[in-house]
């Protein structure tokens, strides 16, 4: 019986830490997202704000938001673009302003967020491929296990996003 206690304690510790490490590659994903924005025709240059959309009731979403905010810090240089970030609660997307794009964290109900962003012609980027596959996000980015960028053609067209041809050769479109 005493051998089970360490195993149970380890399992409990891993479960407790899981939301914190739910998205360990947020820094890499944000770097990829920033670079992808530089491939937009008439895209942002100089300083631009990335709204980080999160659901405060979902620990994994909050953890990813915190990781993204930390990765960007006071400014993240990605080529011709310097990103700063501001947190945006999922329910407040329809009122957001002053952002070049929205980064949708894992666990956010992306459907309403995507609809609100489309109405405002704001590009949405998610770290979850299902966000782009469903059309709720214009693109999804992931650095693990390899760099993968998925762009949803319909969602991109809905917000007026046109990517340079060199970029379109490096992505998967759905």
Domain membership of residue 168 as a residue range: 26-173
Q: How far apart are CA 12 and CA 6, in angstroms?
A: 10
For residue 43, the domain's CATH number is: 3.40.50.2300
Number of domains in the chain: 1
Q: Could you report the per-residue pLDDT of 53-89, keeping only the tens digit for each? A: 999 999 999 999 999 999 999 999 988 899 999 999 9
* Residue 130 belongs to a domain: yes
Lowest mean pLDDT among 36-40, 50-54, 143-147: 143-147
In the sheet that holds 148-151, the strands lie side by side as 76-78, 81-89, 46-54, 101-104, 123-126, 139-142, 148-151, 172-173
Answer whether residue 84 is part of any domain. yes
Q: What is the pLDDT of residue 34?
A: 92
Q: What angle do CA 73, 76, 80 make, to 5 degrees?
A: 160
pLDDT at 44 over 70: yes
- 43 lies in a domain? yes
Q: Note whether residue 114 is domain-resident.
A: yes
Considering the domain boundaries, does residue 38 fall inside one?
A: yes
Give dist(CA 119, CA 124) in Å, integer: 12
The answer to whether position 40 is within a domain reads yes
Whether the upstream peptide bond of residue 145 has omega within 30° of 0, thus cis, is: yes
Q: Is 105 part of any domain?
A: yes
pLDDT cut 70: percent of the chain above it: 86
Tell me whether residue 18 is in a domain: no
């Amino acid at each position: 019986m005493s051998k089970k206690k360490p195993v149970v304690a380890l399992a409990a510790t891993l479960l407790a830490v899981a939301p914190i490490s739910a998205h360990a590659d947020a820094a890499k994903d944000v770097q990829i997202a920033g670079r992808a924005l530089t491939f937009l025709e008439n895209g942002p240059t100089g300083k631009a704000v990335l709204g980080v959309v999160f659901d405060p009731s979902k620990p994994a979403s909050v953890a990813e938001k915190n990781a993204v905010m930390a990765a960007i810090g006071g400014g993240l240089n990605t080529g011709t673009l310097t990103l700063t970030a501001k947190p945006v609660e999922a329910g407040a997307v329809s009122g957001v302003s002053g952002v070049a794009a929205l980064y949708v964290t894992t666990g956010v109900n992306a459907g309403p967020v995507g609809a609100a962003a489309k109405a405002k012609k704001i590009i949405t980027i998610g770290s979850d491929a299902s966000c782009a596959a469903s059309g709720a996000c214009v693109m999804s980015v992931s650095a693990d296990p390899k760099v993968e960028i998925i762009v949803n053609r319909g969602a991109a067209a809905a917000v007026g996003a046109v990517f340079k041809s060199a970029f379109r050769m490096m992505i998967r479109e759905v």
